[in-house]
Amino acid sequence: MMKKIILFIAFMLILSIGKTQVIVKDTISKKIIFGLHNSAFGINFKDTIVGKKHFYRSVYVEPYVGYFFNRSIGVGIIGGYETVRTNMTNFKNENRYEIGAFTRYYYPFRFNSKKITELNTMLFLTEISYKFTSYQKVSTEKIEGSNKLNNALFTIIPFGFQFNLWKGLYFEFSSEYWVFSNNYQELRYRIGMEYHINKNNKKIKY
């Protein structure tokens, strides 16, 4: 999925190349950011042998806030909460918690296309975070949980994208690599909304 997005952006850039400089220095200041990543999953089915209906539903939210020392480097705090409700035998109803810190780096460039101006709103980032969690994944389908934050989760975003929607409001899509303290590893994707507070929000021009 991420490879297709990168290839699409590269293709659009090739189409937009003209006499203008395609890549320029990013001059948009970022001071404080806050946002929310989220995901949800649900399934319903009926066991045709015993006639029982089964369900599984989960909702995950990840709020965060960060402070930037300059245009590119910032740090912040991040939390997470997931609720699971099910009547399936191999799973249980539970609430999962996360709390930790992150650091983010914005690459100091942006696009400067005269033909496809939507590309000019994109920001590119790398991010790492370390969180204490009340759970850990053992396999794709098995999760061990407790009521204490006695597990750890390290995440890294090698390369993420943000698209400006309105003034300081951005939409994010990134690939995220998870590594739990028991060495279980998983590649995921995250989406979310984020707002940048800075004095240039009303003056951003592309």
What's the confidence (pLDDT) of residue 27?
57
Per the structure, the count of domains in the chain is: 1
Residue at 28 is within a domain: yes
Q: What share of the chain is helix, strand, coil (3-state, %, to 5)?
A: 10, 60, 30
Which CATH number goes with the domain that contains 47?
A: 2.40.160.20
Contact 45, 34 (CB under 8 A): no
Please report whether residue 204 resides in a domain. no
pLDDT at residue 203, as a whole number:
45
Is 105 inside a domain boundary? yes
Note whether residue 164 is domain-resident: yes
| Structural tokens at position 135 | 């759970």
Domain assignment present for residue 203? The answer is no
User: In the prediction, which pLDDT does 204 show?
Assistant: 45
Residues 60, 42 contacting (CB under 8 angstroms): no
Distance of CA 13 to the CA centre of its chain: 24
Tokens 């969180």, residue located: 131
User: CA distances (Å), 160 to each of 84, 156, 182, 189, 194, in order?
Assistant: 28, 10, 26, 10, 13
SS3 per residue for 96-143: EEEEEEEEEEECCEEECCCCCHHHHHEEEEEEEEEEEECEEECCCCCE
Rounded Cα distance, 99 and 162, in Å: 23
Residue 187 lies in a domain: yes
Q: 27 in a domain, yes or no?
A: yes
**pLDDT for residue 74:** 95
Domain residue limits at 112: 2-197
Contacts of 184 (CB under 8 A, 6+ apart): 136, 137, 138, 139
pLDDT per residue as tens, the chain (206 positions) = 555 544 444 444 444 444 445 555 655 667 899 999 999 889 898 877 777 888 889 999 999 999 999 888 999 999 999 999 998 877 788 999 999 999 999 998 877 767 767 777 889 999 999 999 999 999 887 888 888 999 999 999 999 999 999 888 999 999 999 999 999 999 999 999 999 987 654 444 44
- Cα–Cα nearest to 178, from 142, 134, 128: 128
**Predicted TM-score of the model (pTM):** 0.80
